[in-house]
Amino acid sequence: MMIEERSKALKLNLFDRLAILTAVVFLGVIALRPLFAPEAAQAQARLQPTDFYIEPGVHRILTPDKSSQILGKVVIDLSNGNVWGFPTLAEVPYPTNAEPGKTTPPTSRPVYLGRYDFSAMTRSR
């Protein structure tokens, strides 16, 4: 008598069978997907997030010793408040060559302009 009660309790109707079959099919698709569409291996290093603010436009940069003024981009390192100027030598947002016959791309070296003391900013209530 006990076996008959168990077999009645384990009988599944059509809806139960379809629900289990659907779950098995979807789990199979998830498990077999890497075989049919493997992901490409990526060997590049993860880039560190940068905390730089690049001021829009080109500005006249006065060197700290006040010996010269040059056109360039202003960059602020938001992690420590350091301000840098990158000379462009023209009113364009990228470095240009000062020598007309030179064909290699120029590299703009930063000029340290100063520092913003972000730690001194406090909110007063």
Look at the pTM and tell me if it is higher than 0.85. Answer: no
User: Where are the domains positioned within the chain?
Assistant: 2-36, 52-119
Number of H-type helices and E-type strands within the chain? 2, 5
Round the average pLDDT of the chain to a whole number and report it. 84
Predicted local confidence at residue 46, as pLDDT: 64
Distance CA 46, CA 59 (A): 33
Give residue 125's pLDDT: 64
